[in-house]
Amino acid sequence: MIGFPIFVSHIKKAMKNFWNFLRSKVFLFNIGLAFIVIVVLCLFALQWLKKSTNHGEFVEVPDLSKLSVMEMRDIIEDVNLRYEVLDSANFNPEYPRFSIIEQDPPAGNKVKENRKIYITVNPSGYKKVTVPNIIQVTQRNAGSMLRAVGLDVERVTYIDELGKDMVYYIRYKGKTINPGDKIQKTSKIELVCGNGTITGQAKVKADSE
């Protein structure tokens, strides 16, 4: 019975010391320090997660149509995107030379930061094509052969030759050209065809034979 009051006294003393420790500056300082460390670690973790995954970071793809490569580069970098320029063999006359004619993804799409945008640039002009061999071919067939390679007939002129509507010469910008020559695609050329008659001199020569 004598030991129990002593035990209770020790318990009360221990509790008093514990509460005094909880209210001490050392304990409060340690708690505050631990809280600050936890907050800083959480902020670092969130920042790392944000940079590594770009979680929720979407940007709108800008409209790059008809811009020069330099103008496109500045805009792409401003919105934290990347780009890759693709070659194009098809000239589009509705766009300035060396301007953007196509982009993938299209303008207005939402993409994550650092996404690569594929850019197609308009070439300096139409590519050159080979003039097909249309000599001694009918005017109608010659026109079809020319259109098949991207050329067209500007006009047809006739000369005194026996082969009616047969092509005898090809002219481009007033000069005679030959099959196999290369001229710019979409060019228009002149066909010189026979009118089905022969000159009087040739007729006399033929009769004399």
Residue 35 pLDDT: 77
Nearest to 168 by CA among 139, 147, 140, 145: 139
| pTM score of the predicted model | 0.49
Residue 41 pLDDT: 84
Residue 75 pLDDT: 93
The two most distant CA atoms of the chain are separated, in Å, by 163
The 10s digit of each residue's pLDDT in 156-204 is 999 999 899 999 999 999 999 999 999 988 899 999 999 998 765 544 4
Contacts of residue 136, Cβ cutoff 8 Å, sequence gap at least 6: 163, 166, 167, 168
Q: Which two tokens stand for residue 181?
A: 């020559």
Q: Which two tokens stand for residue 19?
A: 């509460």
Residue 13 pLDDT: 64
Residue 207 pLDDT: 44
Q: How far from 175 is each of 88, 137, 197, CA to CA, in Å?
A: 31, 20, 24
Question: How confident is the chain (209 residues) per 10-residue block, as mean pLDDT?
Answer: 58 63 61 78 77 68 92 92 84 89 92 92 87 95 94 94 93 94 92 86 47
Q: SS3 breakdown of the chain: % helix, strand, coil, rounded to 5?
A: 35, 30, 35
What does the alpha-carbon distance between residue 131 and residue 172 come to, in Å, rounded to a whole number? Answer: 11
72 by Cβ neighbours in 10 Å (0-12 / 13-18 / 19+) ranks as buried
Residue 205 pLDDT: 47
